[in-house]
Amino acid sequence: MPASEIAIGELSRRTGCNIETIRYYERIGLIPIPRRRGRYRRYAVADVGRLGFIKRSRELGFTLGEVRTLLGLAAAGPSACAKARNLAASHLADVRSRIADLRRMERTLADAVRRCDADDDPRCPLIEAIVREANDDDAAPPERRGKSPR
């Protein structure tokens, strides 16, 4: 094997990405289909950087479609920075919304646990909180109805 090529196991080791995930990214076109030597895949050393970029983007919560867009923008160079910024700003708004949802969940659960610990209510505080919030959700405006953390 040429020094500029690596096996899938080495690619996995260098990036911390599961082998099955690497194969999946190949199938959906996020990483190029590697050359084959017999039945073995041979990746270019440059694929380490590309896969690292994909993995980090996923860790930041970008969808596979957004990752595909970011890869295209990265290849376009500095002229694509404004588009990348807009994508990041939209994603940031979504992250902040999920954080707010998680904070509401935390308050509800903390209150329910506190009330359970107080043991001064014959009804289950957790069940009551869920029922109460479900009813509040039904009365919420349509844009908020059914909204829950992912």
In this structure, is residue 43 part of a structural domain? yes
Compute the residue count for the chain.
Answer: 150
In this structure, is residue 41 part of a structural domain? yes
| DSSP for residue 91 | H
> For the chain, how many helices (H) and strands (E)?
6, 3
* Cβ-Cβ contacts under 8 Å for 68 (sequence gap 6 or more): 29, 30
Q: What is the pLDDT of residues 101-142, one digit of tens each?
A: 999 999 988 988 888 888 776 778 888 888 888 888 666 655
Domain match, 57 and 92 both: no
Q: What is the pLDDT of residues 11-66, one digit of tens each?
A: 999 999 999 999 999 999 999 999 888 888 899 989 999 999 999 999 999 999 99
pLDDT at 92 over 70: yes
Q: What is the pTM of this model?
A: 0.74
| DSSP for residue 70 | H
- Residue 121, domain extent: 88-139
Mean pLDDT for all residues in the chain: 88
In this structure, is residue 13 part of a structural domain? yes
The token pair at 51 is: 């896969």
Domain match, 56 and 96 both: no
